[in-house]
């Protein structure tokens, strides 16, 4: 027997929690890891690198990215057959994982292309990273592989790419390492190469994007779009909810995708300014459209990772919300799982402060990031948005169906509401209704449209009633 804190959940509940979390870990592993090699898929591995980059931006730990490639893999595959190639890939995955376990309890290794693997190392000296890659190369070279009546050997080339606060995105780091690998293979392979500083830190010229971001905020080319979030089995008279998304027009007034704009804002440290603009626009719209707001339950506003750890932003936001206290309860801030976990201390404090003003929070893209369910106990969120990578084909993919169901059941156990993203057809919606997910969002429900169009809908409805 032992004493527990008053805030601890009961033993039986904790036991049930642990049982469901074990199921989640198994399903999550199957969904995010390559079945042949046991290494992470590229998309999920990139999330690990992105989180390390975020810590580097905050002055935290740096690391190194080691990318390895099997030399002459196509020749082996052609000579001995696809089964021999699969055997070689499986052995490579096991070797990489075994070496990673010396660094991390959970191996940080990914299969990023056909015969290319990547390993993420925290806090190493460059010499230590090079030694790690060299030991891996030597161990691989010592192995002999048997297939049918034949025996063959293979070699690895490796590239070591330092991760520093000056580094670019995860994709750029992986590309830099892959380019360095090609250089090593041109020299015969079976060697380790260090990515040059100039290749790793070269950045695109910022003035164009910086001026574009500043201009868009001033001249009105940036605007807000609203995408409905609907209850799957709720009362017909329930209030409506919307996620607010950025929209962008070019110099000719044509709407364009804001994706590159958002990425540039994050890269050139403008995302906090964009977030502040969004909050100001939302509060202004709420003040000037009380008749529309009366029929709305929540407006979901996305926040970047940079804003979560910015004390100035939080102080300004708190001041704005106190001045508009009557609207705060209708605002739900969305924070991605990766950003929340990589800024866990800041995120938890930020959420607690804002919840004093009756704001709500949603954890976005849940299921494929760095966290386990344990983080849900540390982050005071109200909603969990299930990552669309599981939702979009859950009606035909049994593993993804099990993932969505697992996430939904545990969230309900913790008294959290769930929102499924990327609901693109009625078959998915019916499957979500079957497992009792609370809300749905996606093109199968409605596409995003300009926020000001909500006003026209209310006016039209009022006219029809009259």
pLDDT digits (tens, 9 = 90+) for 250-268: 777 788 888 878 878 877 7
CB 405 within 8 A of CB 348: no
CA–CA separation, 345 vs 308, rounded Å? 10
Least confident of 113-127, 154-168, 218-232, 323-337: 154-168
The pair of structure tokens assigned to 208 is 């164009």
Rounded distance, CA 466 to CA 177, Å? 66
DSSP assignment, residue 299? E
Q: Which two tokens stand for residue 251?
A: 């110099």
Give the residue, 3 or 300, on which the prediction is more confident.
300
- Which residue did the predictor score with more confidence, 127 or 203? 127
Residues in the chain: 466
Mean pLDDT, the chain, as a whole number?
Answer: 83
Who has greater pLDDT, 280 or 82? 280
- If phi over 0 gives left and psi between -120 and 50 gives alpha, with beta otherwise, what is residue 365? left
Asked if the 36-201 domain carries CATH number 1.10.10.10, the reply is no
Smallest Cα–Cα separation from 117: which of 31, 239, 7, 33? 33
Q: Which of 64, 109, 68 lies closest to 192 in space, CA to CA?
A: 68
The arithmetic mean of pLDDT across residues 341-351, rounded, is 79
Task: Report yes or no: 68 and 157 within 8 Å, Cβ to Cβ.
Answer: yes
Q: In this predicted model, what pLDDT tens digit does every residue of 320-340 receive, in sequence order? A: 999 999 999 999 999 987 777
- CB atoms under 10 Å from CB of 283, counted, come to 19
CA dihedral 284, 285, 286, 290 (to 10 degrees): 120
Rounded to whole angstroms, the Cα distance separating 100 from 92 reads 12
Does residue 203 surpass a pLDDT of 50? no
> What is the average pLDDT across 46-72?
78
Question: Binning pLDDT at 50, 70 and 90, where does residue 227 land?
Answer: very high
**354 token code pair:** 């804002």
Tens digits of residue pLDDT in 370-401: 455 667 778 899 999 998 888 988 999 888 89
Pairing state between β 109-113 and 40-41: parallel
Gap between the terminal Cα atoms of the chain: 69
Mean pLDDT of 218-227: 89
Residue 465 confidence class, pLDDT cut points 50, 70, 90: very low
Phi, psi for 240 (deg, rounded to 5): -85, 150
Structure tokens at 245: 């998304």
Residue 239 has a CB neighbour count (10 Å cut-off) of 14
Highest mean pLDDT among 97-101, 222-226, 247-251 belongs to 222-226
**pLDDT for 208 beyond 70:** no
Q: What percent of the chain has pLDDT over 90?
A: 36
Sketch the domain layout of the chain as residue ranges.
36-201, 207-465
Pick the CATH number of 207-465 from 3.30.1300.10, 3.20.20.450, 3.40.50.720, 3.30.1050.10: 3.20.20.450
Per-residue pLDDT band at 462 (split at 50, 70, 90): very low
Mean pLDDT of 179-189: 81
16: Cα separation from own chain's centroid = 27
Where residue 334 falls (left for φ over 0; alpha for ψ -120 to 50; beta otherwise) is beta
Angle at Cα 65 formed by Cα 61 and Cα 68, nearest 5°?
160
More confident residue, 317 or 63: 317
């Amino acid at each position: 027997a032992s004493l527990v804190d008053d805030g601890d959940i009961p033993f039986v509940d904790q036991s049930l929690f642990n049982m469901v979390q074990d199921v989640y870990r198994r399903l999550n592993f199957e969904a995010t890891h390559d079945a042949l090699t046991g290494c992470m898929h590229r998309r999920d591995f990139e999330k690990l690198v992105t989180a390390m980059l975020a810590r580097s931006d905050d002055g935290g730990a740096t690391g190194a990215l080691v990318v390895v490639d099997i030399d002459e893999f196509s020749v082996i595959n052609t000579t001995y057959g696809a089964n021999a190639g699969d055997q070689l890939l499986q052995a490579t995955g096991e070797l990489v994982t075994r070496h990673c376990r010396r660094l991390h309890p959970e191996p940080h290794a990914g299969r990023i292309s056909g015969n290319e693997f990547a390993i993420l190392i925290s806090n190493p000296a460059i010499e230590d990273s090079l030694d790690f890659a060299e030991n891996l190369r030597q161990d691989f070279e010592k192995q002999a592989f048997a297939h049918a009546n034949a025996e063959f050997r293979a070699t690895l080339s490796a590239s070591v790419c330092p991760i520093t606060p000056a580094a670019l995105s995860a994709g750029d780091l992986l590309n830099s390492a892959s380019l360095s690998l090609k250089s090593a293979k041109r020299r015969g392979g079976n060697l380790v190469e260090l990515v040059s500083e100039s290749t790793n830190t070269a950045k695109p010229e910022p003035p164009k994007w910086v001026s574009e971001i500043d201009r868009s905020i001033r001249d009105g080319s940036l605007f807000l779009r609203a995408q409905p979030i609907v209850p799957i089995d709720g009362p017909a008279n329930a209030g409506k909810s919307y996620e607010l998304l950025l929209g962008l027009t070019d110099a000719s007034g044509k709407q364009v995708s804001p994706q590159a704009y958002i990425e540039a804002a994050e890269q050139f440290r403008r995302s906090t300014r964009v977030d502040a603009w969004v909050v100001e626009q939302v509060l202004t719209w709420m003040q000037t459209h009380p008749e529309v707001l009366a029929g709305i339950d929540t407006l979901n506003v996305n926040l970047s990772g940079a804003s979560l750890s910015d004390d100035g932003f939080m102080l300004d936001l708190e001041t704005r919300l106190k001045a508009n206290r009557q609207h705060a309860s209708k605002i739900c801030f969305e924070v991605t799982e990766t950003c929340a976990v990589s800024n866990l201390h800041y995120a938890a404090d930020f959420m607690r402060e804002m919840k004093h003003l009756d704001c709500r929070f949603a954890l976005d893209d849940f299921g494929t990031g760095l966290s386990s369910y344990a983080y849900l106990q540390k982050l005071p969120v109200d909603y969990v948005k299930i990552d669309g990578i599981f939702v979009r084909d859950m009606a035909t993919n049994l593993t993804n169906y099990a993932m969505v169901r697992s996430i939904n059941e545990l969230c309900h156990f913790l008294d959290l509401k769930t929102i499924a993203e990327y609901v693109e057809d009625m078959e998915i919606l019916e499957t979500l209704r079957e497992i009792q997910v609370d809300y749905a969002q996606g093109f199968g429900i409605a596409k995003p449209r300009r926020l000001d169009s909500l006003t026209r809908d209310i006016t039209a409805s009022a006219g029809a009633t009259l």
